[in-house]
C-alpha cells in the first residue's frame, strides 16, 4: 500500500515509520524545509 503522511512531527513521523516497518511505501510531506533536510541526512527532527 502507498501512504502519504502530512506532517513530520511526533504523530506523522512515528506513524510513517511504523507503516513502513510493516512493509508499506510511505512518503512524508511537511512545509518546514529544515525538517525535510534533517530527514534526508538521516537525522530525526523530533
- Mean pLDDT, all residues of the chain: 94
- Residue 46 pLDDT > 90, yes or no? no
> Total domain count for the chain?
1
> Across residues 11-38, what is the average pLDDT?
95
List for the chain the helix, strand, coil content (%; round to 5): 45, 20, 35
Kindly state the average pLDDT of the residues 23-44: 94
Query: What confidence category does residue 35 fall into, taking pLDDT thresholds of 50, 70 and 90?
Result: very high
DSSP for residue 3 = E
46 lies in some domain: no
Percent of the chain, pLDDT > 70?
100
Q: Judge whether 9 lies within some domain.
A: yes
Q: Is the distance from CB of 36 to CB of 29 less than 8 angstroms?
A: no
Nearest to 44 by CA among 14, 1, 3: 14
- Domain around 19: 2-41
Amino acid at each position: 500500500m502507498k501512504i502519504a503522511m502530512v506532517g513530520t512531527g511526533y504523530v506523522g513521523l512515528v506513524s510513517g515509520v511504523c507503516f513502513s516497518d510493516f512493509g508499506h511505501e510511505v512518503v512524508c510531506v511537511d512545509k518546514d524545509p529544515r525538517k525535510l533536510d534533517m530527514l534526508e541526512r538521516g537525522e530525526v527532527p523530533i
